Amino acid sequence: MHSDPILRKSALLTLSFVGLLWCIKLWEWLLDWSLFTLGVYPLSPQSLVGILFGPLIHGSFAHIATNTFGVLILGTALLYGYPKSRWWVLATIWMLSGIGVWLFGRPSFHIGASGLTHGLFFFLLFVSMLRRDRRSIALMMMASLLFGGMFWGVLPSEKGVSFEYHFFGGTAGVLAALLFWRWDPKPVEQQYDWENEADSE
């Protein structure tokens, strides 16, 4: 069986982004630096830059390890399933999650890619409800099976976890689904003989 070149390219692009996240964390560790001040600090004009850089910064190796699997799987699903809208979806989630945290978050630095992962999860969920084709439903089922706990991640939880990033990331994902669900043509679905026979009856 030949591998799908689009899937392979999507996975490599996502893996490259994950590699960037790990390079940043290793750079912090090797130089004994901390880049948490590049995160989002609500209502601080100097922290507006955190909207861009906050998702790239992680507080610990455990923090980045937690986000790695979600970014890799959900990011690949987006790039593979929605090639025309994918960059717009990513930009919407990235920017709106940061803006939401900047406007309404608790007074602390908010960092990490979990806003992005929650945005991707909720995008895949809601876009499948709007499109209802086999590919989008399959991607939604995979995301729900592996990351169903993200439903609860948008609620206040343990101390030190930015549920605001989760909440506004998820909200941005829903908005992206509403904005871009028509952009990608539905994949051509194979018609089986038994389906043709059923149609002719």
In a domain, 163, yes or no: yes
Distance between CA 18 and CA 127 in Å, rounded? 24
- With contact defined as beta carbons under 8 Å apart, do 177 and 130 qualify? yes
Q: What is the pTM of this model?
A: 0.90
Distance between CA 157 and CA 137 in Å, rounded? 29
In a domain, 196, yes or no: no
Domain extent, residue 170, equals 5-184
- CATH assignment at residue 31: 1.20.1540.10
Say how many domains are in the chain: 1
What is the length of the chain? 201
Strands (E), the chain: none
- With contact defined as beta carbons under 8 Å apart, do 49 and 111 qualify? no
User: What tokens does 82 get?
Assistant: 């929605």
pLDDT digits (tens, 9 = 90+) for 98-113: 999 999 999 999 999 9
pLDDT for the residue numbered 43:
97
pLDDT for the residue numbered 159:
76
In a domain, 201, yes or no: no
